[in-house]
Amino acid sequence: MQKPKLFTRLPEEYVSTPDGMAIDGEGNLILACPNYADVKMPGCLLKIGKKRDIVKWFNVPVHPETGCARPMGISFGPDGDIYVCDNQGWSGKSELLFKGRVLRLRIKDNMIIRTSVVAEGMEHPNGIRIRGDYVYVTQSLLSRVEDPSGLMMSCVYRFNLDDKNIKVENTLEDKNIITTFLTHNPDVQYGADGIDIDTDGNLYVGNFGDGAVHKITFNNDGSVKDNFIWAKDSKQLKSTDGMIFDKKGNLYIADFSANAVAKVSPAGKVTRIAQSPDSDGLNGELDQPGELCIWEGKIVVSCFDLVTDPDKVNTKHELPATMSQLDLE
């Protein structure tokens, strides 16, 4: 297995929890920081240049009722606007539940010149990808849906890029839900998380608690044709957080619970390629990897370093927040 290396340490004055990543039109790495570990810090986006210089790009516009924003997954649209999953409810605080949003931000000269709300009222918007005229968003919890099995349901929402102010009810009546998942692991009832799209337009979604990657295929009219488990190996992959395809069709996955990164071949074979023990991440260790991105020939990993449930390798939060890197195999 590879030994992770330190990509960067993040500024303590405005980063406590890093998460989602995307690459802008100039080749900069954009990092979303929900900052759940210190809620006094505004949720913000950072810009990391090719020389690894770091600047705060902007604070994400706050929710008018809650006064905060917690950006997780991010993705650029074809016109350069950035779409942001504002996951208000991740902390579990009652006043923030069902306040999640999908935002569309237009940036000019490093300033937000227009903010649109694509969807609002979401319980737990997490990962996001864009293809064609659509934005796909994973919602890790659908607690308002009571399945007969008693298991937690999660889902994927699909919105048009130009949608505005869609009111989400977080039930199966939501017309924008295209597919759902049940998480069968009774100890980790947390569902759809990581997401990516292959070159053929098929959707891949990680069911976090089950450590499984689902493949979703589509009919010609855009309706879902099939949703099936494409890759799963409990010895090599414990959980499925952020994921990204390389140009060869390999899928890399942040294994949040195991402090690891796994690679899934185009044939669906899972191989753990890196793993770290519990640490502070200051030497580049995988310190609860949450998201990853392929940038400048490397796999860049953001270290969430916050959750300390019994099934997690991570045992405590430390500052500064860090990011790791791996060689692209």
List phi, psi (to 5°) of 242: -60, 150
Are β-strands 270-275 and 153-160 bridged in parallel, bridged antiparallel, or unpaired?
unpaired
Task: Give Rg (Cα) of the chain.
Answer: 18
In DSSP terms, which residues pair with 136 in a beta bridge?
A: 129, 158
3-class state of residue 210 by DSSP? helix
pLDDT, one tens digit per residue, over 115-140 is 999 999 999 999 999 999 999 999 99
Averaged pLDDT for residues 151-164:
98
Averaged pLDDT for residues 256-275:
98
CATH label of the domain that carries residue 160: 2.120.10.30
Select from 66, 46, 64 the least CA-distant residue to 55.
46
Q: Distance between CA 250 and CA 265 in Å, rounded?
A: 5
Question: What integer pLDDT is reported at residue 120 of this predicted model?
Answer: 98
CA 303 to chain centre: 12
Q: In what side-by-side order are the strands of the sheet with 243-245?
A: 243-245, 251-255, 260-264, 270-275
Average pLDDT of every residue of the chain = 97
Count the Cβ atoms, other than its own, within 10 Å of residue 175: 10
pLDDT, one tens digit per residue, over 79-113 is 999 999 999 999 888 899 999 999 999 999 999 99
Q: Are 292 and 280 in contact (CB under 8 A)?
A: no
Question: What integer pLDDT is reported at residue 85 of this predicted model?
Answer: 98
- pLDDT(329) > 80: no
pLDDT, one tens digit per residue, over 222-255 is 999 999 999 999 999 999 999 999 999 999 999 9
Q: Which residues of 88-107 are buried (b: 16+ CB within 10 A; e: fewer)?
A: bbbeeeeebbbbbbbbbbeb
Q: Are 61 and 42 in contact (CB under 8 A)?
A: no
pTM, entire model? 0.98
Query: What percent helix, strand, coil does the chain show, rounded to 5?
Result: 5, 45, 50
Domain total of the chain? 1
Q: Distance between CA 311 and CA 301 in Å, rounded?
A: 21
pLDDT, one tens digit per residue, over 288-311 is 999 999 999 999 999 999 999 999
% pLDDT > 90, the chain: 98
Q: Distance between CA 77 and CA 160 in Å, rounded?
A: 11
Question: What integer pLDDT is reported at residue 91 of this predicted model?
Answer: 86
pLDDT, one tens digit per residue, over 183-198 is 999 999 999 999 999 9
Asked if the bond preceding 4 is cis, omega within 30° of 0, the reply is no
Q: Which structural domain range is residue 14 located in?
A: 5-327
